[in-house]
Amino acid sequence: MATRRRTLLKVIVLGDSGVGKTSLMNQYVHKKFSMQYKATIGADFVTKELQIGEKLVTLQIWDTAGQERFQSLGAAFYRGADCCALVYDVNVLRSFDNLETWHEEFLKQAWNIGMCPSDPKTFPFIVLGNKIDVDGGSSRVVSDKKAADWCASNGNIPYFETSAKDDFNVDEAFLTIAKTALANE
Ligand code: GDP
Ligand code: MG
């Protein structure tokens, strides 16, 4: 008889302020979306259970409380991360350019607290290009090709285009996050 095992996976979500990190998590975990901008939320993380094969997985998804704007996030945020989701807004070029910065920031912090992925290219990252719904796609400035190229040249990072507003690709993205993190356990 197969044994049931429960696995806790910590996922951290990084990216510029306003790209939709909190909205993606809310859509995924609570199936809710609001256009109202709230820079801070109460909890450090939210959890969601999912079944992957024979494994019962608890995804623990850590959000920033808005401090990505003006200060670093602190060791507790990064410690024990099994996967790092990097989010940008397909309508804001700067948020895409800053993927590089967030990618490096993660690796620097991981190194500082001794998590140091032996080969940074093998650490499970995932990239989400969010807000593809805006103006029916006509205000998009980052093409899917450009994003996919960046992901390919940074260790074949999986890439998803999402809309937290329309609940497009959100479940799919987080499922891939869970599977990627699990594979790396
Ligand atoms: P965070 O700072 O990265 O956590 O971003 P938020 O989740 O707070 O979102 C910033 C703003 O963008 C809010 O007004 C959200 O309602 C809006 N937003 C987030 N995701 C989407 C999306 O997929 N489509 C649209 N149109 N707006 C979004
Ligand atoms: Mg937020």
- Ligand 2 centre distance from Cα of residue 12 (Å): 12
Q: Which two tokens stand for residue 53?
A: 């094969």
Is the beta carbon of 173 within 6 A of some atom in ligand 1?
no
137 alpha carbon, closest ligand? 1
Is the beta carbon of 21 within 6 A of some atom in ligand 1?
yes
User: What do you get for the CA distance between the two ends of the chain, in Å?
Assistant: 23
Residue nearest to atom 13 of ligand 1 (CA): 37
- Around ion ligand 2, residues with a beta carbon closer than 5 Å are 21-22
Could you give the CA distance from residue 127 to residue 99 in angstroms, rounded to a whole number?
9
Q: Among 23, 26, 130, which residue has the most ligand 1 atoms within 8 Å of its CB, making it the best to mutate?
A: 23
38 alpha carbon, closest ligand? 1
Is the beta carbon of 10 within 6 A of some atom in ligand 1?
no
Interface confidence: ipTM more than 0.95: yes
Q: What is the model's pTM?
A: 0.93
Looking at residue 3, what is its pLDDT?
Answer: 56
**Dmax (CA) of the chain:** 54
Looking at residue 2, what is its pLDDT?
Answer: 53
3-class state of residue 152 by DSSP: helix
Q: Which residues of 100-130 are buried (b: 16+ CB within 10 A; e: fewer)?
A: eebbebbbebbeeeebebeebeebbbbbbbb
Write out the chain's pLDDT in tens, 185 residues.
555 668 999 999 999 999 999 999 999 999 999 877 665 555 578 999 999 998 999 999 998 877 777 677 888 889 999 999 999 999 999 999 999 999 999 999 888 888 866 666 788 999 999 999 999 999 999 999 999 999 999 999 999 999 999 999 999 999 999 999 888 77
Interior CA angle at 77 toward 120 and 17, to 5°?
90
Could you give the CA distance from residue 50 to residue 134 in angstroms, rounded to a whole number?
30
Nearest atom in ligand 1 to 25's CA: 7
Is the beta carbon of 164 within 6 A of some atom in ligand 1?
yes
List, in sequence order, every residue forming a beta bridge with 171; answer none if it has no partner.
Answer: none
